[in-house]
A and B are shown apart, each in its own frame.
Chain A
Amino acid sequence: MMKWSFRKLRLRTIAVHLIAWSIALAWLVPFLGVFSTAVRPVSEITNGWWNFDRLNPSLNNFILAFTNPVLPLSRAYANSFLIAVPATLIPIFVATLAGYGFSRFRFPMRDYLFLSIVLLMSIPQQMIAIPVFKIMLDLNLYDNLLSIILIHSAWGLPWIILFMRNFTRALPLEVEEAARVDGAGDFKIFSKIVIPMAVPALASAAVLQFMWAWNDYFFALILLPTQANWPVTRVVTSIGSGALTTDWGILSAASILTMLVPLVLYVVTQRYYIRGMIGWTIKG
């Protein structure tokens, strides 16, 4: 009897592992397909990318995507970085100031103001699209990378303010009070005490905000009509697409190159990414 249940337990363990690992593998199939298509000439995948009768892998499609005369991905890469880096630094700085303020300073209507800002988090980008389009035209910033940097900076504020406010609120007050007794002002306490303690939270916020700016498509769609200004997310929808046919080799290579940056960032900063994601959704 005992033996039997022990065997049952082992069978169960094996089954659980088998199921879990097959699901992981199944989840990777689309990525493997894109990879298999990207590293082979089109002639080899006419019978499906899963057919490996002929196999001459090369980086040709990647080079073609990167140096494409009409839509060079190299240029788009530069644009994406030029957008995402400032669109991360500006809102992090601005939102940390405000988030700290909301966590420590008392003033009338504070919680209502804070709640209103948090509510802005849920609004779809389309809700501001038309006026923003007109504002950028009026400011002469339409089709200029500055327009999209500004809009990402503003758009990222609500969730970073929420995130940093919840983080700084959990910091021990004693240190700040001790510094205040020693005569330190608000800004000194903020820059010398709060910021150094907030580095992990800043890293989490930076990773998520960078990905958000890098992955964005909609703002780039409405604000950047000229191809020379396009970030990678816009190039990837147009590259390799002919009038009737699609060059899946180049399109796959471009897809991989587009997701490569967020992917590497995720792998390197996994801890911060997950913590940011979970803190931002769960912790109240």
Chain B
Amino acid sequence: MGGYTLVTRIRHIPSKILLPLLSRISRHGLRPHAGRALFFTPALVLLVLLVIYPVLQTIFLGFYLELPGGQRQFTGLDNYRAVLTDPATINVGNLPWPPPLGTLIHNALWIVIHLPISLFAGLWLALLLQETKGASVVKSCIFLGMVTPMIVGGVILRFLLEAGVGVVPSFFGVIGVRSLAVNWMVHRELLLLGLILGSVWLWTGFSLIVYSAGLTTIPKDYFEAARVDGTPPGRMFFRITFPLLKPLTLVIVVMTILWELKIFDIVVAATNFGGGVGADTLALQVYRFFFYDSNAGKAAVVASLLTLLTLISTSLILRRMAK
């Protein structure tokens, strides 16, 4: 009985969609709104040909082995197994330290270190600048990192960390910290950390600008009322400011994670393609597998895994953005 209703229900779905559509067309005719398709056609053609088809093709490639002569052989999950057991992805032997720890771990470290620092630095600065004269100038200075092409950002990080020109090793030399007064670009432990911490300089402007805009939307009365009640500033922050900024915090967290997952230019420019893989990221690994090793299957797998991670992150705010 239940099976019967289920079947009829399923069979009714097409008619549920089709019938109203057909009746609308017969009532109004196709013509009045047919031109509306032209609003979407150019965008859909470009997206399907150059984005959607390539994405599907990449997913597909991950399940195949490319043989010489342009032939393909279905290999199931072999490429996935090969990638996930490759020390280039997760270097079990070196865990927990020192690098190279594998691209997946490097990206994870990027998120664990860079996300909280740049997020809270931006929030703290936004609060500080609320009571500062000339705040817009300070903001512009910090926002410069966001305007800088990431490839130039990478060059500048190298400029800061390399022995000789680098202000960072010289600084530690002056204050007498010998272990850090070295060429950060050739010490693997320092290279990865230097790039991660250095990119805080490039990205903090983002959370600063977003939080600053968010702070202006909080009605002044809230703080006035709290002040009249004698609420201490710390409590005001945790009871009023931070809860009201929560939706923005989520947006910043997601956008920052996306940025960290996609790190490519900075590492390429700073290390000239990886500096012996000590600072490799997933995005760089895709390039390496395809263009250096001519292994489209493994490159496609890394790209697919990376995309999966970005989609999971985006799903947290998708509803908000498309509301």
Listed in ascending order, the chain A residues whose CB lies under 8 Å from chain B are 13, 16-17, 19-21, 23-25, 27-31, 33-34, 37, 45-46, 48-50, 94-95, 97-98, 100-101, 105, 107-108, 111, 114-115, 117-133, 135, 150-151, 153-155, 157-158, 161-162, 185-187, 190, 211, 214-215, 217-218, 221-222, 233, 236-237, 241, 248, 251-252, 255, 258-259, 262-263, 266, 270, 274, 277-278, 281-282, 284
Among A49, A97, A121, A282, max chain B CB count under 10 A is at A282
Contacts of B54 in A (CB 8 A): 127-128, 130-132, 135
Contacts of B304 in A (CB 8 A): 127
A-B contact pairs, 10 of them (CB 8 A): A24-B141, A28-B144, A48-B170, A101-B40, A117-B43, A122-B310, A130-B296, A157-B46, A185-B35, A259-B149
Contacts of B248 in A (CB 8 A): 282
Given contacts A23-B125, A120-B52, A154-B50, contact A281 B286 (CB under 8 A): no
Listed in ascending order, the chain B residues whose CB lies under 8 Å from chain A are 17, 21, 33, 35-36, 38-40, 42-44, 46-47, 49-55, 57-58, 61, 125, 128-129, 131-135, 137-138, 140-142, 144-145, 147-152, 155-156, 159-160, 164-165, 167, 170, 201, 209-210, 213-214, 248, 251-252, 255, 258, 261-262, 264-265, 268-269, 272, 282-283, 286-287, 290-291, 296, 299-300, 302-304, 306-307, 310-311, 313-314, 318, 320-323
Contacts of B137 in A (CB 8 A): 24
Cβ B141 vs Cβ A101 within 8 A: no
Bound-state Cα–Cα, A127 to B258, Å: 14
Given contacts A122-B311, A122-B314, contact A130 B303 (CB under 8 A): yes
Cβ A24 vs Cβ B150 within 8 A: no
Bound-state Cα–Cα, A31 to B147, Å: 12
Cβ A124 vs Cβ B167 within 8 A: no
**B125 nearest CB neighbor, chain A only:** A23
Cβ A154 vs Cβ B132 within 8 A: no
Bound-state Cα–Cα, A138 to B313, Å: 34
Cβ A218 vs Cβ B307 within 8 A: no
Bound-state Cα–Cα, A237 to B262, Å: 19
Bound-state Cα–Cα, A118 to B318, Å: 8
Contacts of A158 in B (CB 8 A): 47, 51
Bound-state Cα–Cα, A11 to B48, Å: 61
Contacts of B152 in A (CB 8 A): 233, 236, 255, 258-259
**B52 nearest CB neighbor, chain A only:** A120
User: A20 touches which one: B138, B147, B167, B307 (CB < 8 A)?
Assistant: B138
Cβ B286 vs Cβ A121 within 8 A: no
Among A117, A118, A185, A187, max chain B CB count under 10 A is at A117
User: B43 touches which one: A111, A132, A157, A186 (CB < 8 A)?
Assistant: A157
Bound-state Cα–Cα, A251 to B282, Å: 27
Given contacts A33-B167, A236-B152, contact A132 B50 (CB under 8 A): yes
Given contacts A33-B159, A97-B39, A127-B307, contact A120 B149 (CB under 8 A): no
Given contacts A24-B141, A128-B55, A237-B269, contact A135 B133 (CB under 8 A): no
Bound-state Cα–Cα, A237 to B142, Å: 24
Contacts of A48 in B (CB 8 A): 165, 167, 170
Cβ A150 vs Cβ B135 within 8 A: no
Given contacts A129-B303, A162-B322, A281-B210, contact A211 B147 (CB under 8 A): yes
User: A126 touches which one: B51, B272, B303 (CB < 8 A)?
Assistant: B303
**Which 4 A-B residue pairs are closest in the complex by CB-CB distance?**
A101-B39, A131-B54, A128-B54, A154-B50
Cβ A215 vs Cβ B35 within 8 A: no
Contacts of A217 in B (CB 8 A): 149-151, 264-265, 268-269
User: B50 touches which one: A30, A118, A150, A277 (CB < 8 A)?
Assistant: A150
Cβ A28 vs Cβ B148 within 8 A: no
Cβ B155 vs Cβ A236 within 8 A: yes
Cβ B159 vs Cβ A117 within 8 A: no
Cβ A135 vs Cβ B50 within 8 A: yes
Bound-state Cα–Cα, A276 to B286, Å: 31
User: A186 touches which one: B39, B140, B201 (CB < 8 A)?
Assistant: B39
Q: For residue B170, give the distance in angstroms from its CB to the closest CB of chain A.
A: 6
**A132 nearest CB neighbor, chain B only:** B54
Bound-state Cα–Cα, A279 to B276, Å: 40
User: A30 touches which one: B61, B160, B299, B321 (CB < 8 A)?
Assistant: B160
Contacts of A233 in B (CB 8 A): 149, 151-152, 265
Given contacts A98-B39, A233-B149, contact A20 B129 (CB under 8 A): yes
Cβ A129 vs Cβ B321 within 8 A: no
Bound-state Cα–Cα, A262 to B304, Å: 32
User: B272 touches which one: A241, A255, A259 (CB < 8 A)?
Assistant: A241
Cβ B147 vs Cβ A266 within 8 A: yes
Q: For residue A147, give the distance in angstroms from its CB to the closest CB of chain B.
A: 10
Bound-state Cα–Cα, A211 to B151, Å: 13
Cβ B151 vs Cβ A236 within 8 A: yes
Bound-state Cα–Cα, A123 to B314, Å: 9
